[in-house]
Amino acid sequence: MENKVETNAVPADTGAAKNPNENKKGNKKDVKKIINIVVNVLLIVAIILAAFSTYISFVSTSGSGIPSIFGISFLSIQTDSMYPTLKPGDLIIDTTIKSNEEVEKLKVGDVITFWTNEQGQLILNTHRITAIYPESINNFTSFQTSGDKAGTADYNNVHAADVVGKWTGMRIPGLGKAVDYLQTPTGFFLLVIIPVLIFFIFHLVQFFRVLFEYQNVKMLIKYEQERGRTEDLIETQIKDEKEKDEIRRAAIEAELREKLKAELMADIAKQNAAADNKDENKDKTEQ
Q: What are the E-state strand segments in 97-242?
A: 111-118, 121-137, 140-146, 158-159, 163-172
148 vs 198, more confident? 148
pLDDT band of residue 134 (cuts 50, 70, 90) is: confident
Greater confidence (178 vs 164) lies with: 164
The domain ranges of the chain are 2-57, 68-181
Q: What distance lies between CA 254 and its chain's CA centroid? A: 77
CB atoms within 10 A of CB 50: 17
Nearest 10 degrees: CA dihedral of 29, 32, 34, 35?
A: 170
Tell whether the model's pLDDT for residue 223 goes beyond 90. Answer: no
Which of 131, 209, 94, 101 shows the shortest CA–CA distance to 86? 94
Quote the pLDDT of residue 115.
92
Average pLDDT (99-125) is: 90
25 pLDDT band, cuts 50/70/90, is: low
Q: What gap in Å lies between CA 128 and CA 107, rounded to an integer?
A: 10
Superfamily of domain 68-181: Umud Fragment, subunit A (2.10.109.10)
Quote the pLDDT of residue 142: 92
Length of the chain counted residue by residue: 287
Residue 43's pLDDT is what? 74
Residues 7-23 have pLDDT tens digits of 344 444 444 455 555 66
Task: List the strands of the sheet with 158-159, edge to edge.
Answer: 68-69, 72-76, 91-96, 163-172, 111-118, 121-137, 140-146, 158-159
**pLDDT on residue 8:** 42
Amino acid of residue 157: N
| Dist CA 92 CA 87 (whole Å) | 10
Average pLDDT, the chain: 79
Q: Does pLDDT of 247 surpass 50?
A: yes
Q: How confident is the model at residue 231 (pLDDT cuts 50, 70, 90)?
A: confident
Q: State pTM to two decimals.
A: 0.55
Cα–Cα distance for residue pair 12/16, rounded to 1 Å: 6
